[in-house]
Every structure is written in structure tokens, then in C-alpha cells.
């Protein structure tokens, strides 16, 4: 049985990979988990001994096939918990990430499946992140772009908030920006500030915040 800390490492490696099989640097993983590089190296050795990661000094780490299965199981737990907390327990969508982090290590597969059934097997969580199904397959998703690359005059719909932390989510929640909301790009400043029109009014977004917002062009019906 894996400890909660081991599961956190596996989930972090999966999240940091731009694509399956890509190696993640030890320092990058240390920054993501807010630990030291020696601590990371020690844990990676333990995970390698269990056959969950392939770790090579100076070349970083990647998940093995077995490790990827574990990562998808944890992610399924986490994202279904976020959906359940939001839809059935009236949590704000900006507050469920940390709560799900605590609970994801302690739910059984049976409970996870019952949550999924209760919610009619959702394809995404409240932040737009795809939820693996019972076979740990990710749903098909449409191509998206980052709000930080949008141009003035574009009308877009928010589809996903990437790499969310509590501060970023609360910032966006206060601005009325969440998946499903339509935005009109009013101005892109040379220094990176993106000004958008939201249902709640105009909002200026720093480039680093706009970069975690994935969007698709608004259709005629949405626009």
C-alpha cells in the first residue's frame, strides 16, 4: 500500500509531464511539492524500487506504466471528489481543490464509483479538468488555447483552469471567471495585462493568470 506522500509524488509527476513519458526534473518536482531536492531524490528511489517511476540521475524522472495507472486512479478520486463537493455539498468551486487533496488518499474504489454514478459520470471537474472513467481512460476533449494568447476583439468561452492553486482560484472566482463563462477580450497590453469583459464587468488579468485559463472560440449561439 502506498502512503499519501508517495501518491502526492506520483500525481505531481503526472501533472508536470507535458505528455506521457516526458521526464520531469528533480528541481521542478521539488518546487511543485515545496520540498528539497535531496528529499525528492530519496522518495524517487523508493518509488523506483516499487516499479512506479523510472529515475535517472541528471535526467529526471518519468512514470512507468504501473505508475501512470496509479496516477490516473488518484486523479479520478480527486476530480470526482471536487465535483461531488461542489454539486452535492454546495462548496464553492474555488475552495474544493485543497479539500479533495486531503480526501483523495482515503476513498475506496467502490465509493469513487458510487460518487461517479451519483453524479451521472461527469466528464470534467468544476475546473474543467477531465475525469478518468472507471477504466482510467480520459474523455476526448476539444482543442483549446490559452487566454494569454488571445487577441483583442476575440470572444471566447472558458473551458479549463490549469495548474490551479487556492490563491489563483479565489482570484478568478472573485472576478466571475470560471468554466462555461464567456469573455470578450478588450485589450492586450504590451506588458502582459489582458483586459476582458465578463458577465460581472471588466476585469484586468495579469499574464500569468491569463496563461492558466484555457478557452475555445465562442460559437454563434454563445456569442
Q: Which residue has the higher pLDDT, 21 or 69?
A: 69
CA distance 214 to 117: 27
The pLDDT confidence band at residue 223, using thresholds 50, 70 and 90, is: very low
Q: What is the pLDDT of residue 166?
A: 79
Do 158 and 164 meet the contact criterion of CB atoms below 8 Å apart? no
* Secondary structure (3-state) at 129: coil
Q: Which residue has the higher pLDDT, 163 or 114?
A: 114
| Equal CATH topology for 4-63 and 145-217 | no
Domain limits, the chain: 4-63, 145-217
Q: What is the pLDDT of residue 220?
A: 56
Q: What is the pLDDT of residue 165?
A: 75
pTM of the model: 0.89
Please state, in angstroms and as integers, the Cα–Cα distance from residue 144 to each residue in 94, 123, 125, 126, following that order.
21, 16, 16, 17
Q: Which residue has the higher pLDDT, 183 or 21?
A: 183
Q: CATH: 1.10.230.10, 1.10.20.10, 1.10.10.10, 1.10.630.10. Which one for 4-63? A: 1.10.10.10
The pLDDT confidence band at residue 18, using thresholds 50, 70 and 90, is: confident
Q: CATH: 2.30.30.90, 2.60.40.10, 3.40.50.2300, 3.40.920.10. Which one for 145-217? A: 2.30.30.90
Q: What is the pLDDT of residue 125?
A: 96
Q: Is 80 exposed, middle or buried (0-12, 13-18, 19+ CB in 10 A)?
A: buried
Q: What is the pLDDT of residue 221?
A: 47
Angle at 51 between CA 27 and CA 111, to 5 degrees: 95
> What are the tens digits of pLDDT across the range 120-154?
999 999 999 999 999 999 998 889 999 999 999 99
Q: What is the pLDDT of residue 200?
A: 84
> What are the tens digits of pLDDT across the range 162-180?
876 778 888 898 889 999 9
> What are the tens digits of pLDDT across the range 186-212?
999 988 899 999 988 999 999 999 999
Q: What is the pLDDT of residue 94?
A: 86
Average pLDDT over residues 97-123: 95
CA distance 26 to 139: 30
| pLDDT, the chain, mean | 92
The pLDDT confidence band at residue 216, using thresholds 50, 70 and 90, is: very high
Amino acid at each position: 500500500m502506498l502512503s499519501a506522500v508517495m501518491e502526492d509524488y506520483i500525481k505531481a509527476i503526472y501533472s508536470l509531464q507535458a505528455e506521457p513519458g516526458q521526464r520531469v526534473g528533480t528541481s521542478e518536482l521539488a518546487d511543485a511539492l515545496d520540498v528539497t531536492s535531496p528529499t525528492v531524490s530519496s522518495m524517487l528511489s523508493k518509488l523506483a524500487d516499487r516499479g512506479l517511476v523510472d529515475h535517472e540521475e541528471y535526467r529526471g524522472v518519468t512514470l512507468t506504466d504501473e505508475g501512470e495507472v496509479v496516477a490516473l486512479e488518484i486523479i479520478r478520486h480527486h476530480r470526482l471528489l471536487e465535483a461531488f463537493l461542489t454539486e452535492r455539498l454546495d462548496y464553492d468551486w474555488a475552495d474544493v481543490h485543497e479539500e479533495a487533496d486531503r480526501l483523495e488518499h482515503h476513498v475506496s474504489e467502490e465509493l469513487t464509483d458510487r460518487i461517479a454514478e451519483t453524479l451521472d459520470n461527469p466528464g470534467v471537474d468544476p475546473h474543467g479538468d477531465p475525469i478518468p472513467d472507471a477504466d482510467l481512460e480520459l474523455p476526448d476533449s476539444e482543442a483549446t488555447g490559452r487566454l494569454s494568447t488571445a487577441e483583442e476583439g476575440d470572444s471566447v468561452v472558458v473551458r479549463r483552469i490549469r495548474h490551479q492553486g487556492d490563491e489563483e482560484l479565489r482570484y478568478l472566482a472573485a472576478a466571475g471567471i470560471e468554466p462555461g463563462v464567456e469573455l470578450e477580450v478588450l485589450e492586450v497590453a504590451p506588458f502582459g495585462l489582458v483586459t476582458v469583459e465578463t458577465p460581472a464587468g471588466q476585469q484586468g488579468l495579469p499574464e500569468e493568470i491569463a496563461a492558466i485559463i484555457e478557452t475555445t472560440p465562442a460559437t454563434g449561439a454563445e456569442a
